[in-house]
Amino acid sequence: MGLLKIVHYPSPVLLTVGKPVETFDENLEKLALDMFETMYHADGVGLAAPQVGISSRLFVMDCSGGTDPSRRFVIINPEIIACEGHQIGKEGCLSFPGIYTEIKREMRVIVRFQDLKGSLQELDVTGLEARCVLHETDHCDGIVFLNRMTPFKRALAKKKIKEFQISGKWEVSRSFETI
């Protein structure tokens, strides 16, 4: 187990479509465990592989903050198969530390995915978990939450990002790998 390094925007891996996961082995299990550890350590509720420099389609999620093991999910090769309703709420991203913006998302989502054994599963979630599934699936598609902001909020966020980058607080990595 170990903490992984979280890459910050605009690291190219965050803007690249992830490769489907094809090998379900102990390396994948170890990666998922390390991603959970990294996510809890950073007080996040979701973390996608591209955020730790790995351009592959998987993410971990736990919107209970580690208090309810039944809400702990490893989602591999996610595919959103149904959405309904809307919600507007503040959203952040571990690859954009210090940026929180209201974003409109669907209220309920059904996601089809593979688990660590490679078996197909479906998960039907609402509220924060739906927001998280959409945000993290976007990461697997090389989409960051800037793309989901209104033009006005995006302009404000970009201004702040520039300030953070000039101050050297954000770590940008040029290289990336897949699993």
- Residues interacting with Ni ion, by CB under 5 A? 93
The residue from 136, 163, 171, 177 that is catalytic is 136
| Smallest separation, CB 51 to Ni ion (Å) | 6
Q: Residue 54 or residue 93: which is nearer to Ni ion going by CB?
A: 93
Classify each residue of 84-102 as buried b or exposed e, where b means 16 or more C-beta atoms within 10 Å of its C-beta: eeeeeeebbbbbbbebebe
Q: Residue 26 or residue 43: which is nearer to Ni ion going by CB?
A: 43
The SS3 of residue 179 is coil
Handedness of CA 8, 38, 109, 68 (dihedral sign): negative
Check if 136 is active-site.
yes
| Smallest separation, CB 93 to Ni ion (Å) | 3
Q: Read off the tokens for 41.
A: 């350590």
| Smallest separation, CB 134 to Ni ion (Å) | 11
| 3-state secondary structure labels for all residues of 131-142 | HHHHHHHHHHCC
- The contacts of residue 167 (CB under 8 Å, 6+ apart) are none
| Smallest separation, CB 28 to Ni ion (Å) | 21
The SS3 of residue 39 is helix
Q: Residue 31 or residue 140: which is nearer to Ni ion going by CB?
A: 140
Rounded to whole angstroms, the Cα distance separating 4 from 55 reads 14
Q: Residue 118 or residue 173: which is nearer to Ni ion going by CB?
A: 173
Active-site residue numbers?
136
